[in-house]
Amino acid sequence: MNNVIIKASRNTENAPQNAVSTQTVAFSHYNNISAQLPLDPKTGEIVVGNIKDQVKQCLTNIKAIIESTDHVMDDVIKLTVFLKNISDMDAVDEVYATFFQSYLPTRTTVAVAALPMNDALVQIEALISNGEGTAPQAPCALIKLARNTENAPISATSTQTVAFSHYNNISSQLPIDAKTGELVAGGITEQATQCLNNIKAILESINHDMNDIVKTTIFLKNITDVEAVNAVCATFFPSYVPARSVVNAAALPMDALIQIDTSVSHGDGTPPQLPEDTRLLVIKASNTENAPTMPCSHTVAFSHYNHVAGQLPLDPKTNAMVTGDVKAQATQCLNNIKAILASVDHVMDDVVKVNIQLKNIADIDAVNAIYTTFFNSDLPAATIIGVTAIPMDALVQIDAVVSNAESTPPQA
């Protein structure tokens, strides 16, 4: 593997520090920021107050991290907001809009069963544009392209799609009819279809298609709906299936049954990148016998990133759940990720971001103790949430975003 491009892992004293993650990990043209809780960085305690106070603290922490890397809030490409109560959305929106001057980034909002600290009402993670790249890439005045189409639902609190360099990031799509602004009639099949049709419409508006998607995160109100959703997804991805993670939501906006988040390859890049130089970048979807069989690709690489599908604690030889407690299950999840990375000539220290779902948030310390043993250098950025259920009644599920220094052809 070509290890020329350097991963930049950084912390600042102006935001809460965590022994099991790095605040921000930049690689190539993106920064990945760990999910921020409403902690006062001076005391390490949850701020006293209501949801608005907590949202403000989360965003203030993100702002401090961003400014410590010589960036500003308007460099944010995407935010994911995890709430204890979905009814707090309006309060979040009110505070959130004050942190951005020129435009609103793409966004996902979801209620989860639990957050890492009991008194936290909200947790927010961010993805940041990094025009200067990481060494030895030369700084480049890349342009961010924020766009909306009338053929998909338009939100007053987010942009449908924001492209930067070789990725498009699409706001999570609810099963809303773009013409009426209402949820579509029907059950999970109809709602999943509408979400994917909205994504398709957004992609077509920027001259892309569903085969350009590299990763989907599917938020389900009922985890038992996963098979029905997989069947719908198969009709939208008949030949190639992106990496995928499934998250059990405690609640979704508008009381929807499903919401789908996507990361999209953007081979044409953003100016001043030249379309004739980049439009032929190849999506490399890979699977290995050393990880459990899945209804999606194990890993999808595009340009300078790999996206690893959510891994359950399954024995790859039997595809059965491993026996044991959460430590045993977390170890298996991480071993599966390690095997997937090894199959594409990468290692765990190439990981820039991990997302961990726990059925019992009280297991966080046990999982962290195992998790840290899989890395030899700086720890990745991280997000941890508690959920009511995980597929196959697992106790933990983990996915990862990985640096890909060698890039995908025809880049050198």
Q: What digits encode the pLDDT tens for the residues 145-192?
A: 999 999 999 999 999 999 999 999 999 999 999 999 999 999 999 999
**18-142 shares its CATH topology with 165-271:** yes
Q: Are 292 and 314 in contact (CB under 8 A)?
A: yes
Q: Which residues face 358 on adjacent strands? A: 386, 396
Average of per-residue pLDDT across 336-353: 98
State how far the Cα of 201 lies from the Cα of 112, in Å rounded to an integer. 28
Average of per-residue pLDDT across 350-360: 98
Topology (CATH) of 18-142: 60s Ribosomal Protein L30; Chain: A; (3.30.1330)
Any long-range contacts for 331-335 (C-beta under 8 Å, 24+ apart)?
A: 331/370, 333/396, 333/397, 333/398, 334/370, 334/371, 334/374, 334/398
User: What's at 20, amino acid-wise?
Assistant: V
For residue 278, what pLDDT band results from cuts at 50, 70 and 90? low
pLDDT at 411 > cutoff 80: no
State how far the Cα of 170 lies from the Cα of 153, in Å rounded to an integer. 12
Q: Are 203 and 249 in contact (CB under 8 A)?
A: no
Q: Where are the domains of the chain?
A: 18-142, 165-271, 281-407
Q: Are 326 and 367 in contact (CB under 8 A)?
A: yes
Output the CATH code of domain 281-407. 3.30.1330.40
Average of per-residue pLDDT across 361-378: 96
Looking at the chain, the whole-number percentage of residues with pLDDT higher than 90 is: 90
State how far the Cα of 47 lies from the Cα of 234, in Å rounded to an integer. 45
Query: What does the pLDDT look like over 291-319, one tens digit per residue?
Result: 999 999 999 999 999 999 999 999 999 99
pLDDT at 276 > cutoff 80: no
Instruction: Look up the pTM and report it.
Output: 0.96
Topology (CATH) of 165-271: 60s Ribosomal Protein L30; Chain: A; (3.30.1330)
State how far the Cα of 347 lies from the Cα of 340, in Å rounded to an integer. 9
* 320: phi then psi, degrees, rounded to nearest 5: -105, 155
Torsion angle (degrees, nearest 10) of CA 367, 342, 168, 379: 40
State how far the Cα of 176 lies from the Cα of 257, in Å rounded to an integer. 11
